[in-house]
Structure 1
Amino acid sequence: MQLMPITDSMFLLMESREHPMHVGGLQLFTKPDGAGDDYVESIYRDLIERAEVARLFRKRPMSPVNTLGQAFWAEDTELDISYHVRRSALPTPGRIRELLELTSRWHGTLLDRHRPLWETHFVEGLSDNRFAIYTKVHHALLDGVSALRLMQNALSDDPSARDMRAPWELRPGKKRPKTGGGSLLQRVTGLAGDFAGFGPTAVRALTEAAREHSVPLPMQAPRTMFNVSIGGARRFAAQSWPIESFRRIGKATNTTVNDVVLATCSGALRDYLIEHRALPDASLTAMVPVSLRSSEAAADGGNAIGAILCDLATNEQDPARRLARIAASMSGGKKLFAGLSPLQILLLSALNVSPLGLSPIPGVADHTRPAFNLVISNVPGPKGPTYFNGARLDGVYPASICLDGQAVNITLTSNNDMLDFGITGCRNSVPHLQRMLLHLDTALSELTAAAGIS
């Protein structure tokens, strides 16, 4: 039995049929030259037979049926690996469209709390010599950054490497650098200092945010068609763009790649809302997660995420001015975190997202202003070509969480020379979600032209 940190248990407590609280990811692979029809099956069988599952992936709530049981982890000592790792096939003609429809259905179903909270699906039947792997993991077990880092650990930059371990498998012991140096008394004293200093820190941050009009405050976002009560079914859309396109715009405008990503999303959201005659006069606000986790800590699981609120400038028609406003807002948000400890950043971030805790109360999401309009998250991925048992990784498309008042989520990850976007939406509240991809493409072209790039 292991005590569950409150940052983890809250994801279990918030979960309902309408609000699955898992993060997911769809990986698209091209088989190696000469791979036979049994290539995917042979990988699957080998992984099932090895079944060396790491302790993190054996954890389940101590008792799924009461609140106390959701405050402690138990270890599943008789894990049924064939339940968690499955084979599926697409119907003909095996297009990406069919793959995304299948992913949408999987992403809208709850994980079984009587078992460790994760599933992996090997998907065959794709055209063009490809296959896919969809994985979902409960947010109580892993945050998205940790999940992606574990996925990367299962890949190799060597296309000839075989017999590679899956993300859920045990790995040879690694000596990790010591963290939290000093005596127990020193560490406790440090934490006490963090808590004691948080009150003045929060006041200072809120005062600066109010003074800097570019930094939004919680509960100031306008109501939109995204900020309503949602159902449990999901839609999932995904597409990739060259990261160089974003870099060139950033270089020409003296902004960051992430600023350009946010401006591209802003343009797409603006066009989508105009298309539905639902664009508010006030600008939308995005919550932008910031990882507080070191690269060595991914395998420990849990959650370590800060949150910046960003003005998306959706009420600005000119794409260049929209980008400038977004860059100023992100710069102001980062300044609020300057000089703070990770714990203080986490506490300050909690002020930004805490209104979401009221969203499960009937009527709150439909009759109050949202804390922010949506989450847009950019997670670093592989920096070069990578392979899984010889198969080249072509795409990594994150699938995230929707909540009452938060009917759409945009998450992307870098993959070699591409940015892979995954958009998750409530099937009832966000119609024709796939059109968001067309609007992203249009917004990127408009920013390219505005930056004077031919």
Structure 2
Amino acid sequence: MAFMSPTDSLFLLTETDKQPMHVGGLLIFGAPEDSTSSDLINQALEDRRVSDFLRNVAEPHFAGTAWTWRHDADIDFDQHVKRHQLPPGASEGDLLALCAQLHSERLDRSRPLWEIHVIEGLPLDRFALYAKIHHSVADGVAALSLLRSRLSDDPDIREMPAPWVDAAPEEQPSHSGAGPLRSLVSLVKDGVSTAPALADMTLRSLASRGGPLSISAPKTVFTQDISEERAYAAKSWPLERLRLIAKSADCTVNDVVLTMCAGGLREFLIEMGELPRKSLVAMVPVSMRPQSDDTTAGNQVGLLTCSLGTNIPDARERLLHVSARMREGKNFIASHNATQNLVTSAAAVAGLAPMVMLGRNLLVNPPFNVVISNIPGPSEPLYWNGALLEEIHPLSIPVSGLALNITCVSQCDRISVGLTAASDVVPEPDEIAVDIDSALDELERSVGL
């Protein structure tokens, strides 16, 4: 029995039917080289073995304030792995709509907190996997590392196990739990050591100098209560386009990603007649893992807030503004240790907890307007029994008061942006995806490309 960290437990404590706390990924594969996708899927579904890591059930303790993992030796395979057939002539929009529907459905806590949906019927004998896993189990970096361990960079390898089967022993993720007394002692020690960091965070927020805390975000159309229904859109671009902009403007690719999203949100809100005079603020998760291939279960994520410059008409000036704010935030992280960064991040969003737990927006002005994550994915082509992984599209978590979540994943020479929204607030997030595409064109022109 392993106790969860307070961060991991929080995703269970704040979950409601309207706010499922799982993340997801849509993986699109090309046709296998020497068989059909149907044959490959049939063979995989015959293997009903399940990884030990995927047999853990969350259990509450101390009136639900702390949670542990319990191993389940006899899970119901058919409740976790399911097969879908798209209708003839189905489009990518139909695939994304199916994923939005599946992403709306809360995971059953009486079972291990994951599902994998195998989806057939894509053109050219392609197929897809939509996988979702509770955020208490893994953050985005750990989930992608787990994915990487199930695939191969060798297109000629066959007889690979299904994604739900055990990986090699050295690639197995592990839960890093501790006893409740030890966790309490550590928390007290950490509280003493993080007091200066919390003071620094507060002073930076008052001076608008970057860091985890923001007190300047305006109210927007996204600051609403939400229903349980989800809408989803995804779009991808060659990564080289972003690299050239970053080189021309002497900034990072992540700065370009944030500014693309800022430009898209600005245009979307202008079209609605709802652009605030003050800049939107993004919450930007930052991995605190020591290595990008770390598969330790749970969450090791710090947070930064970043003014997106949506009140700046010029695209290049907006990019320079975002880059400067992110540089200030990174300086904050660099000047504190991992524990301090995790604690200050938790403190910065503590005010959201009652709102999230009640499923109602209780704030006149939110601390930030949108979550924008950028997760590094595999840098080399990956295969599953000869089928090339062509695309990865991420899905994430909207909550009341934050009805839109934007998550980006890079893969080889492309980057994908997934927009997960509460459909009653943002019924057509594909409109924002189109505006982000236009914002990328605008950024290229602004730096002379």
Query: Do they superpose with TM above 0.5?
Result: yes
Moved more, 247-256 or 36-45: 36-45
| Alignment equivalent of 1:150, drawn from 146, 150, 154 | 146
Q: 2:124 aligns to what SS in structure 1? A: coil
The percent identity for this pair of structures is 39
Question: Runs of 5+ in structure 1 lacking a partner?
Answer: 181-186
Matching of residues 4-403 of structure 1 within 5 Å: 4-36=4-36, 38-48=38-48, 51=49, 53-62=50-59, 67-68=63-64, 71-174=67-170, 194-213=190-209, 217-295=213-291, 298-360=294-356, 365=361, 367-403=363-399
Asked whether the equivalents of residues 212 and 332 of structure 1 are also in contact (C-alpha less than 8 Å), the reply is: no
Asked whether the equivalents of residues 54 and 168 of structure 1 are also in contact (C-alpha less than 8 Å), the reply is: yes
Task: Find the aligned partners of 1:74 and 1:392 in 2 and give their Cα distance.
Answer: 35
Q: Once the 2 structures are TM-superposed, how far is the Cα of residue 189 of structure 1 from its aligned partner? A: 9.9
Q: Once the 2 structures are TM-superposed, how far is the Cα of residue 335 of structure 1 from its aligned partner? A: 1.0
Q: 2:317 aligns to what SS in structure 1? A: helix
After TM superposition, the score normalised by the length of structure 1 is 0.91
Question: Runs of 5+ in structure 2 lacking a partner?
Answer: 177-182
- In 2 relative to 1, CA 43–371 (structure 1 residues): closer, same or farther, beyond 3 Å? farther
Q: Once the 2 structures are TM-superposed, how far is the Cα of residue 20 of structure 1 from its aligned partner? A: 0.5
The amino acid that maps onto 1:274 is I
Asked whether the equivalents of residues 212 and 348 of structure 2 are also in contact (C-alpha less than 8 Å), the reply is: no
Match of 1:406 in 2: 402
Q: Once the 2 structures are TM-superposed, how far is the Cα of residue 166 of structure 1 from its aligned partner? A: 4.1
**What are the Cα deviations for residues 279-307 of structure 1, in whole angstroms up to 9, with x where unaligned?**
10000000100111234874331111000
- In 2 relative to 1, CA 7–167 (structure 1 residues): closer, same or farther, beyond 3 Å? farther
Q: 1:300 aligns to what SS in structure 2? A: coil
Q: Once the 2 structures are TM-superposed, how far is the Cα of residue 13 of structure 1 from its aligned partner? A: 1.0
Asked whether the equivalents of residues 150 and 167 of structure 1 are also in contact (C-alpha less than 8 Å), the reply is: no
Match of 1:184 in 2: none
Asked whether the equivalents of residues 224 and 373 of structure 1 are also in contact (C-alpha less than 8 Å), the reply is: yes
Task: Find the aligned partners of 1:429 and 1:442 in 2 and give their Cα distance.
Answer: 22
Q: Once the 2 structures are TM-superposed, how far is the Cα of residue 257 of structure 1 from its aligned partner? A: 0.2
RMSD: 2.5
Task: Find the aligned partners of 2:66 and 2:159 in 1 and give their Cα distance.
Answer: 36
Match of 1:183 in 2: none
Task: Find the aligned partners of 1:410 and 1:320 in 2 and give their Cα distance.
Answer: 22
Q: Once the 2 structures are TM-superposed, how far is the Cα of residue 227 of structure 1 from its aligned partner? A: 1.1
Task: Find the aligned partners of 1:36 and 1:299 in 2 and give their Cα distance.
Answer: 32
Matching of residues 429-440 of structure 1 within 5 Å: 429-440=425-436
Task: Find the aligned partners of 1:440 and 1:391 in 2 and give their Cα distance.
Answer: 30
Q: Once the 2 structures are TM-superposed, how far is the Cα of residue 242 of structure 1 from its aligned partner? A: 0.5
Task: Find the aligned partners of 2:433 and 2:291 in 1 and give their Cα distance.
Answer: 31
**What are the Cα deviations for residues 230-259 of structure 1, in whole angstroms up to 9, with x where unaligned?**
110001111110000000000000010000
Match of 2:180 in 1: none
**What are the Cα deviations for residues 391-438 of structure 1, in whole angstroms up to 9, with x where unaligned?**
111111110001111100000111010001111000000132111111
Match of 2:179 in 1: none
- In 2 relative to 1, CA 295–169 (structure 1 residues): closer, same or farther, beyond 3 Å? farther
